[in-house]
């Protein structure tokens, strides 16, 4: 018996990389999986049905059930059809794992309108579309059940690039910040159905992390423990999707190697009420002293490891 026996999952961007790892992990625990992927390159160009069909074959080889769905998650109608594929094929949809995306990196001064729009579209609109249509299904199912709680898990993929504001990734960082707070809002809304919504910040070797200036950090070591192997992320997604995490919602979790981290929402670092109304000089007394010991944001890519 698997912890996800009888559950139905959709995993977007599941033809390769982290999505493939997660789809296989969910299947190992008993879930039936809709494998969504357009088979694009790391920059979103091209298309192929082979990656998704290949993962379906891998899942079936495990003795689990799977079907491929080739729609564009950022297209409203395609996203709805992906959700409906799960319902029509397996009878329900319990777990939505949003991964689909690509990166088109560049400095702000060199970024084109298309570089910005395409990344925001696939990540933010893609996550919204899949969350929206999944929650529509849950709302209808909840009404049909007389308001009884149902089994629902929304899992969004963000990145710590939004925490650090990576130089050369303003579009990607902005999209991942939007995904995080979209999911926080969804967590509040889907609570009435008995469902949860959480964010995963995977730190792993993928096509996107291996194509930037920091690729060397993620290189597979010649020997020893492979800290950034994408396989490490699968168990976290399976745990969030499981009954064991029914009480976990609105959280941001990060995993790499043997390390797990949970982020709190932003907290005030300074909270001061002045005795008189603010002037430039009064602000300088408070803010000048506060920021005197703090360093400005540094240039370059940052990857905090502790």
In a domain? residue 200: yes
Domain containing 107 equals: 8-263
Count of domains forming the chain: 1
In a domain? residue 216: yes
- Dihedral-angle region of residue 57 (phi above 0 means left; psi in -120 to 50 means alpha; beta otherwise): alpha
Q: Residues 63-115: pLDDT tens digits?
A: 999 999 999 999 999 999 999 999 999 999 999 999 998 889 899 999 999 99
How much is the pTM?
0.89
Contacts of 209-216 with C-beta under 8 Å, sequence gap 24+, read: 211/42, 211/103, 211/105, 212/103, 212/105, 212/168, 212/169, 212/301, 213/168, 213/301, 214/301, 214/303
In a domain? residue 305: no
Sign, CA dihedral 7-13-18-21, equals positive
Per-residue pLDDT of the chain in tens (306 residues, 90 and over written 9): 799 999 999 999 999 999 999 999 999 999 999 999 997 776 667 678 899 999 999 999 999 999 999 999 999 999 999 999 999 999 999 999 999 988 898 999 999 999 999 999 999 999 999 999 999 999 999 999 888 899 999 999 999 888 888 788 899 999 999 999 999 999 999 999 999 999 999 987 766 665 655 666 777 778 888 888 889 999 999 999 999 999 999 999 999 999 999 999 888 989 999 999 999 999 999 999 999 877 665 544 444 433
Is 151 assigned a catalytic role? no
* 3-state class percentages of the chain: helix first, strand second, coil last, to nearest 5: 45, 15, 45
| C-alpha distance across the termini of the chain, in Å | 37
Where does residue 89 rank: exposed (0-12), middle (13-18), buried (19+ CB within 10 A)?
A: middle
- Tokens 């960082």 belong to 173
In a domain? residue 274: no
Q: Who contacts 66 (Cβ-Cβ below 8 Å, separation ≥6)? A: 23, 27, 32, 33, 34, 35, 55, 56, 59, 60
In a domain? residue 55: yes
* SS3 state at 176: helix
CATH number at residue 183: 3.40.50.720
Which one from 103, 176, 242, 249 is the annotated catalytic residue?
A: 176
Which one from 32, 118, 142, 159 is the annotated catalytic residue?
A: 159
In a domain? residue 276: no
* SS3 state at 117: helix
Q: What are phi and psi of 90, to 5 degrees?
A: -115, 0
Is 176 assigned a catalytic role? yes
Is 159 assigned a catalytic role? yes
In a domain? residue 2: no
Contact indicator for 202, 18 with CB cutoff of 8 Å: yes
In a domain? residue 291: no
Which one from 103, 172, 242, 249 is the annotated catalytic residue?
A: 172
């Amino acid at each position: 018996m698997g912890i996800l026996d009888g559950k139905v999952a959709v995993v977007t961007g599941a033809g390769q990389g982290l999505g493939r790892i997660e789809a296989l992990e969910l299947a190992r625990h008993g879930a039936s999986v809709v494998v969504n992927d357009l088979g694009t390159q790391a920059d979103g160009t091209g298309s192929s049905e082979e990656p998704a069909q290949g993962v379906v074959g891998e899942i079936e080889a495990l003795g689990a059930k799977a079907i491929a769905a080739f729609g564009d998650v950022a297209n409203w109608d395609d996203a709805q059809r992906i959700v409906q594929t799960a319902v029509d094929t397996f009878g329900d949809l319990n777990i939505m794992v949003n991964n689909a995306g690509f990166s088109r990196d560049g400095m702000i001064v060199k970024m084109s309108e298309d570089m910005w729009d395409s990344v925001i579209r696939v990540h933010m609109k893609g996550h919204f579309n899949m969350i929206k249509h999944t929650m529509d299904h849950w709302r209808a199912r909840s009404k049909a059940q007389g308001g009884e709680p149902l089994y629902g898990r929304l899992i969004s993929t963000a990145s710590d690039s939004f925490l650090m504001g990576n130089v050369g990734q303003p579009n990607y960082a902005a999209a991942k910040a939007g995904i995080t707070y979209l999911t926080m809002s969804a967590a509040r809304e889907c609570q009435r159905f008995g469902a949860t919504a959480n964010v995963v910040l995977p730190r792993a070797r993928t096509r996107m992390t291996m194509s930037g200036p920091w690729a060397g950090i993620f290189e597979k070591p010649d020997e020893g423990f492979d800290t950034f192997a994408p396989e490490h992320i699968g168990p976290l997604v399976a745990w969030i999707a499981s009954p064991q995490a029914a009480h976990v919602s609105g959280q941001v979790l990060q995993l790499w190697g043997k390390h797990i981290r949970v982020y709190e929402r932003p907290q005030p670092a300074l909270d001061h009420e002045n005795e008189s109304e603010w002037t430039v000089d009064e602000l300088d007394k408070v803010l000048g002293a506060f920021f005197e010991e703090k360093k400005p944001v540094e240039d370059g890519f940052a990857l905090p490891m502790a």
